[in-house]
Amino acid sequence: MFSHHNNNTIRSKNYTTRVAHGRKVEQTIKESLRSHGYVITDSTLDEDMYDKIDGYITIDHVVQPLQIKYRETGNDIVFEVSFIENHDKTLRWNGRDMCGKSTIYACLSQHGDRIWLCDTNHIKYHARTMGSRLYDDYQLHGTRSLASKEGEIKITIDHASKRTKMIFFAKPTRFAFTTLQLHHVA
């Protein structure tokens, strides 16, 4: 189900196929979290679309908004930090992940065998700190990437909108407070 090592990756498929695949993976991760004893409830369609909340997870008797993340081609979290408006070169912290309201990420490993539970606010802090440094270097020297032990932040062009944006490739092992084995639940 989570085979990522072929040329026929899901990202090459049409939108409808990608969404269906994403929903299937999301449900598998939710069921695996439940099998580990976590209470998982679903979000509304509006919460999913506008707040980037895929559900809710109860940790230590506290219900927290959850976003599920996974990639086919890397063991990192792709975190959209900001768009840089070309007309005034202003950095705005308006990337979908920076604006998202989840406080917990459930991140599936590239090989589909582990789930990392990560504190979203910790990721946002590092994205903002590294993003500010990169943006200053970008303005002064044209620097387009900056790496640290937490991950790598890059300035790139958005394929859909053609706008300049900043993406943080966060290392989940640096942000995880729990690592779980993925359970395939029938």
- For the chain, the average pLDDT equals 89
- Which pLDDT score is estimated for 3? 46
Quick one: pLDDT band at residue 7, thresholds 50, 70, 90?
very low
Question: Which two structure tokens, joined as six digits, stand for 82?
Answer: 């900001």
- Which pLDDT score is estimated for 6? 44
Name the β-bridge partners of 56: 41, 65
> How confident is the model over 16-53, as pLDDT tens digits?
887 788 889 999 999 999 999 999 999 999 999 999 99
| Alpha-carbon distances of 96 from 58, 79, 93, 99, 181, rounded to whole Å | 24, 8, 9, 5, 28
> How confident is the model over 108-140, as pLDDT tens digits?
998 899 999 999 999 999 999 999 999 999 989
Q: Count Cβ atoms below 10 Å from residue 84 Cβ, excluding itself.
A: 19
**Residue 161: exposure state from Cβ atoms within 10 A (0-12, 13-18, ≥19):** exposed
Instruction: Inform me whether the pLDDT recorded for 84 exceeds 60.
Output: yes
Instruction: State the Cα–Cα distance between residues 97 and 136, nearest whole angstrom.
Output: 21
CA dihedral 13, 19, 22, 26 (to 10 degrees): -170
- Which pLDDT score is estimated for 137? 93
Percent of the chain with pLDDT over 90: 69
Please count the residues of the chain.
186
Give the mean model confidence (pLDDT) for residues 49-67. 96
Q: Sign of torsion, CA 21 174 149 103?
A: positive
